[in-house]
């Protein structure tokens, strides 16, 4: 779907209306440049764009593919294909959404193909149109505006991830077990974010060297410096999450040890209670036997004590002797 298409000449947009593909291709031959913006176009639309602007077949095919890393390639003389990864933090799901922007940059046209919800470029076009002196520099200024918009969108994502990490860090280092799955998923998001942002540094270096107008170099350098800081922050977040994950595993081990000690204490108390009632259980069981000899020999209290206590002391004495023999010898 074509979102916007405009012709820029002498730093000014020539018409507020969106141009058709045929008109855009015609204006490319009359000076200035055309900026065509598309969002998730169909195969038919991409074929029409390829035919209108004489794009390389492999470049168009590459723009249809979702990439894991940003890159820049030269498919034909004076036409570059720049692949950018975009990011946006979703507060509802507490996750990072990734998108992609494919940018065809030629001497007289710029074509942007956006994939995913995190790839909005309206702000970049509006901000660039407020600086006619930059638009007058040509298509390189559009590439700078797009790169600047992408890097600007990384800032809020870094801040939101930092907030999530601080929450988990506070939970773990307070001695409370945090959900391990949440830490793992957050670390995976930070890693994916690092893969999207860090390779862009080398791309910006290449763009800075290939910029035709020296007046645009400081603007590209400024984007590079901002991205360098963001990349360092993402790298630090990834390392911190690895430390938090290890600390959380240690907290889980401590918690499991505490539970085991509680269970051991409970078993010890139950064992003591059972030992206290063991003599009574023995006496009850012994005299509960209903056979003639036992009934006939219980003639009074002394005989009851003799059989009951005596029958209890004999196995206790044998147990004491057995424990004494099997006790491990102490080291000297």
pTM of the model: 0.76
pLDDT-wise least confident of 92-96, 131-135, 174-178, 187-191: 174-178
Q: What is the mean pLDDT of the chain?
A: 84
- Whole-angstrom distance, CA of residue 321 vs CA of residue 332: 23
pLDDT of residue 77: 76
Domain count, the chain: 2
Measured CA distances, 61 to 64, 102, 126 (Å)? 5, 11, 29
Let me know if residue 311 belongs to a domain.
yes
What CATH number should be reported for the domain holding residue 135?
Answer: 3.30.460.20
> What own/partner pairs with CB < 8 Å and gap ≥ 24 does 50-53 have?
52/21, 52/22, 52/24, 52/25, 53/25, 53/28, 53/104, 53/106, 53/109, 53/111
Q: Which two tokens stand for residue 164?
A: 């999530």
Same domain, 140 and 194: yes
pLDDT of residue 261: 83
Same domain, 103 and 163: yes
Let me know if residue 27 belongs to a domain.
yes
Same domain, 249 and 282: no
Same domain, 156 and 194: yes
- Whole-angstrom distance, CA of residue 263 vs CA of residue 252: 16
Let me know if residue 258 belongs to a domain.
no
Same domain, 73 and 176: yes
pLDDT of residue 177: 67
In terms of residue numbers, what domain contains 284? 277-325
pLDDT band of 331, cuts 50, 70, 90: very low
| pLDDT, tens digit, 9 for 90 and up, residues 153-181 | 999 999 999 999 988 888 887 767 667 88
| pLDDT, tens digit, 9 for 90 and up, residues 290-303 | 666 666 666 677 77
Q: Is the dihedral of CA 133, 135, 138, 141 positive or negative?
A: positive
pLDDT band of 332, cuts 50, 70, 90: very low
Let me know if residue 25 belongs to a domain.
yes
């Amino acid at each position: 779907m074509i979102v916007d298409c405009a012709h820029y000449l002498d730093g000014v947009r020539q018409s507020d209306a969106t141009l058709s593909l045929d008109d855009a291709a015609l204006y490319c031959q009359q000076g200035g440049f055309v900026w065509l913006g598309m969002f998730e176009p169909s195969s038919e639309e991409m074929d029409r764009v390829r035919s209108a602007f004489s794009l390389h077949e492999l470049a168009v095919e590459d723009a249809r593919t979702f990439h894991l890393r940003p890159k820049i390639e030269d498919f034909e003389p004076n036409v570059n294909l720049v692949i950018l990864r975009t990011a946006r933090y979703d507060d509802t799901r507490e996750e990072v959404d990734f998108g992609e922007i494919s940018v065809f940059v030629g001497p007289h046209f710029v074509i942007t193909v956006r994939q995913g919800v995190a790839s909005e470029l309206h702000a970049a076009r509006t901000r660039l149109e407020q600086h006619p002196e930059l638009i007058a520099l040509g298509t390189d200024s559009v590439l700078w505006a797009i790169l600047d918009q992408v890097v600007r969108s990384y800032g809020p994502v870094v801040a939101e991830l930092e907030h999530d990490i601080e929450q988990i860090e506070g939970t773990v280092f307070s001695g409370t077990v945090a959900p391990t799955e949440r830490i793992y998923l957050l670390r995976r998001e930070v890693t994916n974010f690092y893969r999207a942002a860090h390779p862009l540094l080398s791309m910006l270096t290449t763009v800075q060297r290939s910029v035709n107008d020296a007046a645009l170099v400081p603007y590209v350098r400024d984007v590079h410096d901002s991205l360098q800081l963001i990349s360092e922050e993402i790298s630090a977040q990834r390392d911190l999450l690895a430390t938090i994950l290890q600390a959380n595993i240690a907290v889980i081990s401590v918690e499991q040890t505490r539970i085991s000690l509680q269970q051991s204490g409970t078993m010890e108390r139950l064992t003591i209670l059972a030992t206290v009632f063991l003599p009574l259980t023995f006496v009850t069981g012994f005299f509960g036997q209903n056979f003639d000899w036992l009934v006939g020999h219980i003639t009074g209290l002394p005989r009851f004590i003799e059989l009951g206590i005596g029958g209890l002391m004999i196995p206790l004495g044998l147990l004491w002797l057995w424990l004494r023999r099997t006790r491990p010898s102490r080291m000297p």
